[in-house]
Amino acid sequence: MECEAAPTLRIAGLAMDSVVDGPGLRLAVFTQGCPRQCPGCHNPESHDPAGGYEISISKIIEKVKKNPLLAGITLTGGEPMERAAACLSLVRALPAGLTVWLYSGYTYEEIRESGDADRIGLMESCDVLVDGRFDAVQRSLELRYRGSGNQRVIDMKKTRANGGLVTLWEAAEW
């Protein structure tokens, strides 16, 4: 009788205590592989789909569970949509109460229209989607949680509640 291998994810790396990839303390998962290869990308080492290394989803979950201060995880890249099935498995295995942010060079509309069940499922399983290619011409260090002005920070819970009408995320007021 064969034992099924634990699902794995090819990643460029992990940031165990990110404060720049969404609100609060986050575990950032940098997926490996990106066909978009936007000029000026701050993670060019993550472009090669054969680069990085494989890590089991259970190993990532162990790391999440060891840090009670985490507000959530962030899936970034590379391009998480190139690893949508594995990323979706990771999201589904997370402990309750953590938020999930997803950065993608694809827009909400492109993902929706792709017809790819894993990509759509991943997007629908997230709390926030930061969408759109990085555009070096629109780059700004003044933007919150995004690198260029063309990118959107989409509140996926509100978007789902609004019947798919894209609703932008707003930071909580203190």
- Please tell me the distance from the alpha carbon of residue 116 to that of residue 18, in angstroms, as a whole number: 30
Element (H, E) at 54: strand 53-56
Provide, for the chain, the percentages of residues in helix, strand and coil under a 3-state DSSP scheme, each rounded to the nearest 5: 30, 25, 45
- 10-residue mean pLDDT series, the chain (174 residues): 67 95 96 90 89 97 96 96 97 97 97 97 98 94 92 98 96 77
CATH code of 50's domain = 3.20.20.70
Sign of CA dihedral 95, 99, 105, 109: positive
Which of 169-172's residues contact partners 24+ apart within 8 Å by CB, and which partners? 169/128, 171/23, 171/144, 172/23
Any domain includes 171: no
Structure tokens, 13? 């790396």
pLDDT number for residue 60: 98
Total residues found in the chain within this entry: 174
Domain count, the chain: 1
Residue range(s) defining the domain that contains residue 37: 8-161
